[in-house]
């Protein structure tokens, strides 16, 4: 039973997941700092008030704190957009660049007489029987 547990822990999926969680947590603090320390003050400079937690609505003596909800929604949108523009878009561009393959060498050529596709190393056209130069 101990060897099975050791095999389970050392399997690639568990190790990859553990590394992903640790890196994700570390990256989360970077994104949170970006949003709180850079983006939110920029919004405050433009709009005037970056903190909406004091906004509330009172109905029948019950306070509805919609300002806190607005703060949470704004923080989520800022984090999501920061992740999208600074992580997802660049990674998609890198993946697309790595997937580009150079064009394959041609395997056929056109017959100079009848314009049919013939193998590139053919010496005679199979359609019109004209002699063609080797490639």
% of the chain at pLDDT higher than 70: 93
Per the CB < 8 A criterion, the answer to whether 126 and 119 are in contact is no
Sign (positive/negative) of CA torsion 46, 79, 38, 65?
Answer: positive
Out of 57-61, 115-119, 122-126, 130-134, pick the least confident.
130-134
Is the overall model pTM greater than 0.85, yes or no?
Answer: no
Q: Can you list the domains of the chain with their CATH numbers?
A: 2-99 (1.10.1200.120), 105-135 (no CATH)
pLDDT digits (tens, 9 = 90+) for 19-72: 788 888 887 788 777 767 787 778 778 877 667 777 788 899 888 888 878 877
5 vs 121, residue with greater confidence: 121
**How much is the pLDDT for 117?**
92
Report, as an integer, the average pLDDT of 62-83.
80
For the cut 70, the answer to whether the pLDDT of residue 9 exceeds it is: no
For the cut 80, the answer to whether the pLDDT of residue 85 exceeds it is: yes
% of the chain at pLDDT higher than 90: 6
């Amino acid at each position: 039973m101990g060897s099975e547990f050791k095999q389970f822990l050392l399997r690639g999926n568990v190790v990859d997941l553990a590394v992903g969680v640790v890196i994700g947590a570390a990256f989360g603090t970077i994104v949170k700092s970006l949003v709180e320390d850079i983006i939110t003050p920029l919004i405050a400079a433009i709009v005037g008030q970056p903190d909406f937690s004091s906004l509330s609505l009172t109905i029948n003596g019950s306070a509805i704190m919609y300002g806190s909800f607005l703060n949470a929604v704004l923080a989520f949108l800022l984090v999501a957009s920061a992740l999208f523009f600074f992580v997802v878009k660049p990674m998609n561009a890198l993946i697309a660049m790595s997937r580009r393959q150079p064009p394959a060498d041609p395997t056929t050529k056109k017959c100079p007489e009848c314009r049919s596709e013939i193998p590139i190393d053919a010496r005679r056209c199979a359609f019109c029987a004209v002699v063609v130069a080797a490639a």
